[in-house]
Amino acid sequence: MPLVHGTEIFQAARKGHYCVGAFNTNNLEWTRAILGAAQEKNVPVLIQTSMGAAKYMGGYELCQKLIEATVKSMDITVPVIIHLDHGDYEAAKEAIAAGYNSVMFDGHDLPFAENVEKTKEIVKLAHAKGISVEAEVGSIGGEEDGVVGEGELASVEEAKELAATGIDFLAAGIGNIHGQYPANWTGLHFDRLKEIGEAVDLPLVLHGGSGIPQDQVEKAISMGISKLNINTECQLSFAKATREYIEAGKDQEGKGYDPRKLLAPGTKAIADTVKEIIGWMGTKEVKMVPEEI
């Protein structure tokens, strides 16, 4: 069974100065598209659910079982990490109990001391089952009340303190944003990334990977970013392909309304987007990875 926790995969990526993609799933089609693309490219992949997606799909147990069963039915042989994206304390505990391979505990909105304490508790619970843990320092920007904010830049001291809790990888706010980037965005704060990369001996995670110019992502990867989170880019390509299908009237031709036909172009578009991103982020093929672990 190719399900694995994330620690060795991301440590190998950090050592080799490449990145492994973390893609959000929302349903069976997205799961198949992401897994199929990773298999075709012969690379490890992290497939993640947000708390909202897990609720939408029917809970953590269902998500874990759906992904695990899809891995089996598609004969996926590349390493797959089932991960919780931005979990709160309760969600992280639920995902651990449901058999996820990896969880992100996002305590960035808690007072920092409480974030550290709760992260320690999650690390203890997760590591007892061989599950890897991601935590977040600073915050990732995004849209609130129609205004796109840059988020809070990660503090180097807090990054060190959070790393000392025993987490396996660290997400740092360096000017990155969830969702689409505004026209006046000023770019990633590489000075801060450099300081954190030197202070913390862990693979680093870049959230909001959709929409950051490729050269900036490549530079970030060379500076220690080992996990790149992609969500919006797949949503946009799915929506575009689905809209084109309907606008072309194909849902009204023959049995074009059949959901298996209606969802096919969007599903293919997700797979194409995932393959394209895996291609340029330089993820090493699976046969290369064990030598570096």
Site residues (CB under 5 A) for Zn ion? 207
Question: Shortest approach of Zn ion to residue 51 CB, angstroms?
Answer: 11
Whose tokens are 């304490």? That residue is: 117
Residue (189 or 207) nearer to Zn ion, CB? 207
Task: Identify whether the C-beta of residue 219 lies closer than 8 Å to the C-beta of residue 281.
Answer: no
Taking the least distance from each CB to Zn ion, the nearer of 48 and 64 is 48
Exposure class string for 246-266: b at 16+ Cβ within 10 A, else e? eeeeebeeeeeeeeeebbebb
Task: Return the active site residues.
Answer: 85
Q: How far does the chain reach from its first CA to its final CA, in angstroms?
A: 18
Question: Nearest approach, Cβ of 231 to Zn ion (angstroms)?
Answer: 7
Give the residue closest to Zn ion by C-beta: 207
Other CB atoms within 10 A of residue 105 CB: 30
Cβ-based burial of 270 (10 A; exposed 0-12, middle 13-18, buried ≥19): buried
Minimum distance from residue 53 beta carbon to Zn ion (Å): 12
β-strand partners of 143: 148
CA distance 101 to 64: 9
Report the residue number, 207 or 284, with the smaller CB distance to Zn ion: 207
DSSP structure string for 62-106: HHHHHHHHHHHHTT--S-EEEEEEEE-HHHHHHHHHHT-SEEEE-
| Angle formed at CA 45 by CA 29 and CA 23, multiple of 5 degrees | 55
Beta carbon of residue 282, minimum distance to Zn ion (angstroms, whole number): 21
- Would you say 170 or 241 has its CB closer to Zn ion? 170
Closest contact distance (angstroms) between CB of 178 and Zn ion is 6
- 36 vs 151 by CB, closer to Zn ion: 151
Q: Which residue has the tokens 């599903």?
A: 267
